[in-house]
Amino acid sequence: MKNNNRLVFIISIFALVLSTLACGTFSAPSTAEEPAQSTSPIEPPVSAPVQSSTDPNATVPCSQLVPPDELENLLINLAPTLAENSFPGGTSCVWSYTNAAGQSSTFYLQVDFSANAVSLWEATRKSELSNEPSDIVVNGIDGLADESYVWSSRTTGLYVVYARKGDKTLIMRYIPQDVLYMANESGIIDMVDRFFNRF
């Protein structure tokens, strides 16, 4: 009987070692200001059902843009509070939280599908960039919507994403170290595509 228990114990330890080796190791994300360009070891957040609405008079709540379970996967171990402003043709969502370093921060998402969404989006982008130093580097991400602009804001410390898909627009501001899934380009592309499919 004692030998059986030892055998079970040894097999259990062996299985644990093999499963640990099979899972690989986790490497911490880059602490650089801009998202790393490599793929993320983090699983993508759970997808919510797509509900598309192109009616410029529709109202889309933040919970449709970022369902609660997906928000938990984006803001891992953070307890955000939401300030929502939904109106016909657009929505802005600001999730405020305290990160692991004890700093207050936000994850900001704004979508617009009103008749003048594109012109407002362009004007907002130009206005926001006018508050940045003249040598700010603005890039695009290949595969991100029809048109995109991304930069690390020197005035707010947030990573900024402007994306346009047809006549629908999106603006996002966040800290990549807090929103790990979007700490690289592939994560940004995936999430922005999901967001666009929900309004």
Does the residue 11 lie in any domain? no
Number of domains the chain contains: 1
Question: Is there a domain that residue 47 lies in?
Answer: no
Question: Distance (Å, rounded) from C-alpha 15 to C-alpha 153?
Answer: 48
pLDDT, mean over the chain: 81
Q: Is residue 4 part of a domain?
A: no
- Predicted confidence (pLDDT) per residue in 140-199, tens digit: 999 999 999 999 999 999 999 999 999 999 999 999 999 999 999 999 999 999 999 999
Rg (CA), the chain: 21
Q: Which domain CATH number covers 98?
A: 3.40.1000
Say if 55 falls within a structural domain.
Answer: no
Return the closest-CA partner of residue 153 out of 130, 170, 120: 130
pLDDT band of residue 7 (cuts 50, 70, 90) is very low
Asked whether the predicted pLDDT for residue 27 surpasses 50, the reply is: no
pLDDT digits (tens, 9 = 90+) for 96-153: 999 988 999 999 999 999 999 999 999 999 999 999 999 999 999 999 999 999 999 9
In a domain, 77, yes or no: yes
The single-letter DSSP state of residue 35 is P
Kindly list the distances between the CA atom of residue 74 and the CA atoms of 89, 111, 126, 133, 150, in Å, as whole numbers in the listed order: 25, 18, 28, 30, 19
Residue 25 lies in a domain: no
**Residue 135 structural domain:** 62-196
φ/ψ (deg, to 5) at 194: -60, -45
